[in-house]
Chains A and B, each alone.
Chain A
């Protein structure tokens, strides 16, 4: 356990510089975005109302009020989230291959540590999970700050005020990142973590059997996806509803746990018996 925690700390430390840059870009882009968008809106309002002499009510009717919904739909806001998502998808692969490819032989050291090789796998996955939750937390902290910034920059008559929960519930991708119920949270992140373990297994197939392993990895991803989506595929295939929503939910949770457990078990087997440096 101690060595597992040390490994988690070590993995996070290795990605910390890039991680802090990602957080920095998110904070800067979103805060600057709020200010730029608010200033542009107010400047446009000034021009239309004072230069073109359009009454305030008519301006609002024509241009609409400004709110956080405009901000969260902008590239200033979505851009850094997309960048972080892309970085973490890349990181799922990078976290393994950086120690293997080229002249880097750090994987020798990791595999020769006097600890279960499963700890190496779990520590890498845990590092990813912690950092993803870290980014989501930053986003949660940023939203009220951004709302406040908007209030400071756009006069009351021109804006729609929303609570953080209203902002999240009215935006589809924010709702995926920060669901409003614990069960939805478990589902969203459970699926995410399951995908991480499936991809880790595919990577270890490739690292064990090289080209043939890459093919096996792709086949494994397909099988795991089919198992997980089996009830939905079944219903769509037969164009009928065999299950109640609650039943589908329970089946999906069981299948999700099954696929995750299968991936971890296979990864452990590959790490112990097949992986080749």
Chain B
């Protein structure tokens, strides 16, 4: 389980996070929702120790982040984390060189699934295909937790469908996924848990199925209630 406790972060004069707490379980898809600039990406970067928090605590299965944790949790940002001059094959080789958790069989499967050619240079790929390579590099790691930042932003409809399909496949099954988005429609049916953020705090944290069964509300209904008051 990923536990974020009382996270606080200030950039200059702006308090981005002001005591954010939530949990994300293994085997579930947890979605951080909020408008742009609300601090969703900062939370993910904080979990990965890419941006230090001013205060608060982050635990992954009860342990603090360390170098070995990068074999257990990975982050897929909204931009590709590889050198653009590399080919897809070179990028995969790089991952294989450094990560024990790299699963080449799964990477090959993802290449086929996304219809990507490994000899292609990353810089020559379309935005949609670049996003798919980015996803591939994260999903092909045998990690317990996946953090994804806006995987659907600025991508064509067909690529979005393909990426959404990944969430229902064995590629994600059994892992804990934390995803940020402000476009909920594509994945509403896939989400297990929602964390609604605004003004640096968690406004509401709920399980989608319980919400549907108990109150008959969809994620969008709850969002309307919370954000529009």
Contacts and interface: CB of A to CB of B under 8 A. Distances in A.
Closest 5 A/B residue pairs (Cβ): A109-B81, A114-B70, A108-B81, A277-B50, A105-B79
Given A103-B79, A109-B81, 17 more contacts: A6-B98, A10-B94, A104-B83, A105-B79, A105-B80, A108-B81, A111-B50, A112-B48, A112-B74, A113-B98, A114-B70, A115-B67, A272-B49, A273-B52, A275-B52, A277-B45, A277-B50
Interface of A: 3, 6, 10, 14, 103-106, 108-109, 111-117, 272-277
A114 B142 CA distance: 13
Contacts of B77: 105, 108
A66 B83 CA distance: 50
Contacts of A112: 48, 50, 70, 74-75, 81
B127 to A, nearest CB: 11
A102 to B, nearest CB: 10
A14 B83 CA distance: 10
A114 B67 contact: yes
A108 B75 contact: yes
B67 A116 contact: yes
B97 interface: yes
Nearest to A108: B81
A14 B221 CA distance: 51
Interface string B58-70: 0000000001111
B9 to A, nearest CB: 10
Contacts of B52: 273-276
A111 B83 CA distance: 14
14 contacts: A6-B98, A105-B81, A109-B82, A109-B94, A111-B50, A112-B48, A112-B50, A112-B74, A113-B67, A114-B67, A114-B68, A114-B98, A272-B49, A276-B52
Interface of B: 45, 48-52, 67-71, 74-75, 77, 79-84, 94, 97-100
A14 B51 CA distance: 26
B134 to A, nearest CB: 10
A25 to B, nearest CB: 22
A173 to B, nearest CB: 35
A113 B70 contact: yes
Nearest to B95: A109
Contact of A104 (B68, B74, B84): B84
Nearest to B76: A108
Which among B48, B67, B68, B75 has the greatest number of chain A C-beta atoms within 10 A?
Answer: B67
A103 B127 CA distance: 13
Contacts of B94: 10, 109
Given A276-B50, A277-B45, A114 B84 contact: no
A108 B50 contact: yes
A263 B82 CA distance: 28
Nearest to B98: A113
Given A114-B68, A114-B71, A277 B51 contact: yes
A114 B99 contact: yes
Given A112-B48, A115-B67, A3 B82 contact: no
Nearest to B84: A104
B132 to A, nearest CB: 16
A105 to B, nearest CB: 5
Contacts of B82: 106, 109
Contacts of A3: 98
Contacts of A114: 67-71, 98-100
Given A112-B48, A276-B52, A277-B50, A106 B83 contact: yes
A106 B75 CA distance: 13
A3 B68 CA distance: 13
A203 B108 CA distance: 39
A114 B98 CA distance: 7
Contacts of B84: 104
A93 B152 CA distance: 34
Contacts of A104: 83-84
B148 to A, nearest CB: 13
Which among B48, B49, B98 has the greatest number of chain A C-beta atoms within 10 A?
Answer: B98
Nearest to A119: B67
Nearest to A115: B67
B48 to A, nearest CB: 6
A103 B98 CA distance: 23
A250 to B, nearest CB: 38
Which among A105, A109, A276 has the greatest number of chain B C-beta atoms within 10 A?
Answer: A109
B33 to A, nearest CB: 23
Contacts of A105: 77, 79-81
